[in-house]
Structure 1
Amino acid sequence: MCRFLAWVGEQRYLDELIQEQEQSLVIQSRNALIGKTPINADGFGLAWYSDRGTPCFYKDTHPAWSDANLKQLAHHTRSRLFLAHVRASTGTATSRNNCHPFGFDKWSFMHNGQAGGHDRIRQALDAMIPAQLYGYRMGATESEAIFLIAHGEGLNTDPIGAMERAIGRVETLSRQSGALPYLRFAACWSDGKRVFAARYASDRYAPSLHYRVCKDGIIISSEPLDVDNDDWVEIKPNTAIETEGSSVLVHAFDPSMARNQEKVA
């Protein structure tokens, strides 16, 4: 699987979270404490926002711990909102185009999880991406497809509902293929002002997801960044969160409802 984190708040150097914490993202890339795979070495990526309105991306296929450019860039770059991801592939190739976060317009998105039977459903999954967005399909992962499908479901106006509907559609497709696990999903996405995150699974093994409210902002992370983790809140399965200033709003996240509505229609 994968590990990721996001920050929203006051300007902060990226390396303060990516490299300098007790259980920083770089440490998680070679020794994750929670999750299916302790090693996440199939590439990494960053997305950060400045005054431009759209995110800047840096990705590569090296393990995060061995990339000198990542170390330099994170040390000298500050942002009020950034996303960072280390990848453990569930089957697709190790390439820049398959590294998270993914982006379109003002949005960025990263994912930890999988859609069962991706090799069987890939063509049908691509067909769910609206035609006007398909030119932005650069890689081969189900994660990128989910992101673009969510855009077609109205991500700009309904960020949580659109993602919920997209996941419902992808899970339905996976169930039809008969490959377990049908859907495991922990993800984080942003419009440059707010950060959204959700945790869900078709079985009882939803990928881990936590957040922490600090004095100067909010961290969302696959796992706590320190051993003394009393200040970290676990996001429960079937739950989404949204940052609103220095607050965290909690929402229900139930793609099965979207699947049932699609059956009725």
Structure 2
Amino acid sequence: MCRWLAYRGTPVLLDTILYRPAHSLIDQSLHSRLGVETTNGDGFGVGWYSAENDTPALMRDVGPAWNNRNLRELADHVRSPLFFAHIRASTGTAVQQSNCHPFRHGRWMFMHNGVIDGFPLMRRDLTLLVAPGLYGDIEGTTDSEVMFHLALTFGLDRDPPAAVAAMAGVVERVGRAHGVEHPLQMTLALTDGERVWVFRYSTARASRSLFYSSRVEALRRLHPDLGFLRHVSGETRLIVSEPLGDLPGAWNEVPENSYGVVQPGTDELHRFVPAAV
């Protein structure tokens, strides 16, 4: 499995989130506490938005994040209001750059922790459900990238939650047709550069860990000594596979079988149910 984080809020240097916290994503690449594997060294990726471009920039590599000098250099110089970061532990597909998250299509970014159980049995059926105009954009061999392109096929541009629900429903239907009892395990994030949607769901109702940060106003009251909190807006939010530290009151578990929207104004949390397609 993998570890990931999504940040939306006041523009910050990537270093502030990727390296500085006590249990940063870089630390998790070697010492994950809640993941299936302790070490996540099968590649990494960072994707970020800037004021100059509507589409995200990507940096992905096949080596481990903990000793990548280019990532260290980038994190010290790139400032962004919205970025994704992902460290990979392969579930069986090749360690290659095209299999590293996040994935990008136009203005959209997508990343995932989990697995389609039985994916080798299901790959042909699932990929043939991808819209012909999108099929040629699949570069790698992961189940995650197929999930992304299925969501695009089912109308990600129009209604992201409905598109992901349709994708999940198809994966479960195809999986069960192949005799797979619990086809889907996912915690995923996607963004259009403005809002961030996060999903926590598994067929077995035993999903991988996912947390969101408390509102900045509450954190300021709890931890008035933290200088970082004085310089970010009240809408700043982090969603993480596992907490970046042990600050009391800072982290809240995303409920099982739910999805959230981080957006300007009021964030939302809803029940998630796969759709019959």
Query: 3-state SS of the aligned residue for 2:194?
Result: coil
Query: 3-state SS of the aligned residue for 2:267?
Result: strand
Partner of 2:12: 12
Choose from 256, 269, 274 the match for 1:237: 256
Distance across 2 between alignment mates of 1:248 and 1:14: 23
Partner of 1:218: 237
Post-superposition shift, 1:118? 0.8
Query: 3-state SS of the aligned residue for 1:156?
Result: coil
Q: Please report the TM-score for the alignment, with normalisation by the length of structure 1.
A: 0.94
Q: Which runs of 5+ in 2 are unaligned?
A: 217-231
Query: 3-state SS of the aligned residue for 1:54?
Result: strand
* Alignment map for 1:1-265 (pairs within 5 Å): 1-51=1-51, 52-179=53-180, 181-212=182-213, 213-214=215-216, 215-216=232-233, 217-245=236-264, 247-255=266-274, 258-259=275-276, 262=277
Q: Deviations over 1:39-67 (max 9, x none)?
A: 11100001100121000000000000011
Post-superposition shift, 1:221? 0.4
Distance across 2 between alignment mates of 1:246 and 1:98: 34
Matched letter for residue 188 of structure 1: A
Change (3 A) 1:164 1:175: same
Distance across 1 between alignment mates of 2:205 and 2:159: 27
Q: Which runs of 5+ in 1 are unaligned?
A: none
Post-superposition shift, 1:246? 5.2
Matched letter for residue 202 of structure 1: T
Distance across 2 between alignment mates of 1:59 and 1:238: 30
Query: 3-state SS of the aligned residue for 1:89?
Result: coil
CA-based RMSD: 1.2
Change (3 A) 1:30 1:181: farther
Matched-pair contact (CA < 8 Å) for 2:185–2:201: yes
Matched-pair contact (CA < 8 Å) for 2:205–2:257: no
Partner of 2:222: none
Matched letter for residue 39 of structure 2: I
Distance across 2 between alignment mates of 1:229 and 1:58: 33
Query: 3-state SS of the aligned residue for 1:143?
Result: helix
Matched letter for residue 17 of structure 1: I
Q: Please report the TM-score for the alignment, with normalisation by the length of structure 2.
A: 0.90
Query: 3-state SS of the aligned residue for 1:72?
Result: helix
Q: Deviations over 1:56-79 (max 9, x none)?
A: 000000000011100000111000
Matched-pair contact (CA < 8 Å) for 1:218–1:246: no
Post-superposition shift, 1:35? 2.1
Larger radius of gyration between Structure 1 and Structure 2: 2
Matched-pair contact (CA < 8 Å) for 1:9–1:246: no
Post-superposition shift, 1:196? 0.6
Post-superposition shift, 1:253? 0.9
Distance across 1 between alignment mates of 2:176 and 2:87: 28
Distance across 1 between alignment mates of 2:92 and 2:266: 37
